Structure 1
Amino acid sequence: MEKACGHCGHLMHVHLRKIVYMNHTEIEHVPVYRCSCCEHHELVEQVKEELKQVLLQVPREQGTISFADYSPFTRMMLRACYCTADFQVDDWLDMYLLVSSLHDSVWLGEIEQALREL
């Protein structure tokens, strides 16, 4: 997933990052666009509402949590990062539906290629 940086115009790529909320709670695996040129960071639009809901639910002194426990989108991204070899057809089709909603033609092409290889 990529998009143009609003600050410098270079391409931003998605990374799963850790964010700290209220200096107490660490939330791992949050999808964030990052520009390697100017270091600008931006939350992926598709997870903003989910993240807001998580922040409303999490106790102040929670410690560390994984956003993938609350977000199906993030769970699929995390799984794709670590174990694409273990993906079954249904997993690839789920990922295809998610990526289709993002209109990311490059990522869709990679998923289509993976589906052809199954």
Structure 2
Amino acid sequence: MNHTQIEHVPMYRCCYCEHHELVEQVKEDLKQCLQCLQVAGERRAISFAEHSEFTRMMLKGCKVETSLDVDEWLDLYLLVQSLGDTLWQHQIIEALRRTQQ
């Protein structure tokens, strides 16, 4: 059995119940990608962004987000802390950790 890991597949995720759902705009692209992988039949890891313009644009947007410098993240953290949004605080902490890697 061949295994291929597909990274960067856009999904909606509920932060409360952990339900996952594929983003509608990529369903057809994902079907085509899976069909190509069945034909290729090799084991590997791929980025779905190579097969979907929508995904490429989303991924590019995510990379722009992480290009904030540490001072900007800390300013944002202080704002979010004043709003009492603990989920957002944790997300900012994770983003800060990624900038340090």
Per the TM superposition, whether the score is higher than 0.5 is yes
Structure 1-normalised TM-score?
0.50
Corresponding residue for 1:75? 56
Higher Cα Rg, which structure: 2
Which one-letter code corresponds to 1:46 in the other structure?
Q
Which ranges of structure 1 fall in alignment gaps of 5 or more residues?
1-21, 87-118
> Residue 36 of structure 2 corresponds to which residue in structure 1?
57
Separation (CA, whole Å) in 1 of partners of 2:20 and 2:50: 22
Shift of 1:56: 0.4
Choose which of 1, 18, 25 in structure 2 pairs with 1:46.
Answer: 25
Q: CA RMSD in A?
A: 2.1
Q: Unaligned 5+ residue runs, structure 2? A: 68-101
Identify, as 1 or 2, the structure richer in strand: 1
- Higher relative helix content: 2
- The superposition leaves residues 40-71 of structure 1 with CA deviations (integer Å, 9 ceiling, x where unpaired) of 10000110000000000012323100000010
- Structure 2 partner of 1:3: none
Aligned residues: 65
Relative distance call for 1:49 and 1:36 in structure 2 (3 A) is same
- Where do 4+ consecutive residues of structure 1 move more than 3 Å? none
Q: Normalization by structure 2: what TM-score? A: 0.58
> Which residue identity lines up with residue 10 of structure 2 in the other structure?
P
